[in-house]
Amino acid sequence: MRDTRDRWHLSSMLLAVSGTLLVGVGIYFLFLRPPLLPEDIRYMSLTPTELQSVGPRLMSWLTYVFRVMGGYVAATGMLALTLAATSFRDHRPVAAVGAGVAGGLSIGLMAAVNFMIQSDFKWVLLGMALVWGTSIATFVRESALASRQSRVRNPDLRQ
């Protein structure tokens, strides 16, 4: 019989999907995202003259900012993938706490801010945050079911 620790639970698969999505977003910010999107210009309410005046310096600066951000987002995704394949998959409670806090501070905050600024990408980011959150909720449910099943199989543990 195969060891249950070798099994990928739904919670781990969802966290791995979240990590993969974040790596993709990181790659987008590293290599594909232009320094200024139309939504950025809308948010800053820049006139064409103002944009022409600060545009070149701002674009140069933002290129560096988004490269750093892309690296951090991709790194967060890689860490989520690693966590999903190790202690989260083994159902260690500290892994769920760490994943929950990390998800809130990373994709959760990113989604919230994108709603505040009325970004064109707010719904995509919310979907990504919901996948991450669902992985945590699923982890809790799986842990509760495993604990209940363990008590049924081992009546001496009920005390």
pLDDT digit string, tens, across residues 36-73:
888 888 888 888 888 888 888 889 999 999 999 999 99
Question: Over 90: is that where the pLDDT of 158 sits?
Answer: no
Going by pLDDT thresholds of 50, 70 and 90, the confidence category of residue 7 is confident
Helix axes 48-85, 93-103, angle to 10 degrees: 170
Question: Over 60: is that where the pLDDT of 159 sits?
Answer: no
Judge contact between 58 and 34, C-beta under 8 A: no
Distance CA 137, CA 9 (A): 12
C-alpha angle 81/87/93, rounded to 5°?
120
Q: Which range has the worst mean pLDDT, 21-30, 52-61, 111-120, 123-132?
A: 52-61
pLDDT at residue 113, rounded to an integer: 97
* Total Cβ atoms within 10 A of residue 117: 11
* CA atoms 83, 19, 13, 94: torsion sign: positive
**C-alpha of 88 from chain center:** 15
3-state secondary structure of 8: coil
> Considering the chain, what percentage of its residues have pLDDT values greater than 90?
70
Going by pLDDT thresholds of 50, 70 and 90, the confidence category of residue 109 is very high
Distance CA 74, CA 110 (A): 14
Distance CA 16, CA 132 (A): 9
Mean pLDDT, residues 122-139: 97
Going by pLDDT thresholds of 50, 70 and 90, the confidence category of residue 1 is very low
Phi, psi of 3 (to 5 degrees): -65, 135
